[in-house]
Amino acid sequence: MNLSQEIVERFSDYLDAARAAGEIEPTAMTIATRALNDGVSARTVLLKEFDERGFVFYTNLESNKGRQLAEDTAAALVFHWKAIQKQVLVEGRVERVSDEQADAYFASRPRGSQLGAWASKQSRALGSRAELLKRVVATEARYIGRKVPRPPHWSGFRVLPEMVEFWDGKNSRLHDRFRYTAGPEGWSRQRLFP
């Protein structure tokens, strides 16, 4: 179900305020997934696209998060902007973006990042930094004078929200919290105790 206009506008307002306040990485978000050993795994990624359909990030599909999301599509995101005392929690499921969308985003990345996507065996053990740099040099040599294509193991995920909670920090820890939940009739909103 697409996000309501109210949710889209509120998230956009929070993100704009974080940018205006000088947050170093305003699009940084923690994503939690179910680990393959039935535990929970979390890491920080960057939001690359956002609209009424959800929140998009890109990754190596052979990374821990890529393999975990292939196994179980449940995910949670947390955006926390300390400078403006705001936070957004998103819970839902993921879907892969289309190859066309992944290709377009990959083509927009700096060449060094494109080469790194080929050279890095993300989340696997690495003997030394020199080994990584050697792989980058070899990848660079392979694509001299040519565009770097998107690797087949690199794509994006869209988090399809089922719940979105907005937290607005206030004095005396009397924060404002609003939870939006997707249901058969659309999105409902509840105010929560802090």
Write out the catalytic residue numbers: 173
Say how many C-beta atoms besides its own lie within 10 A of residue 76's C-beta.
Answer: 17
Element (H, E) at 15: helix 5-20
What length does the chain have? 194
Distance, in Å, from the CA atom of 27 to the CA atom of 45, rounded to the nearest integer, reads 8
Distance, in Å, from the CA atom of 109 to the CA atom of 48, rounded to the nearest integer, reads 11
Distance, in Å, from the CA atom of 178 to the CA atom of 176, rounded to the nearest integer, reads 7
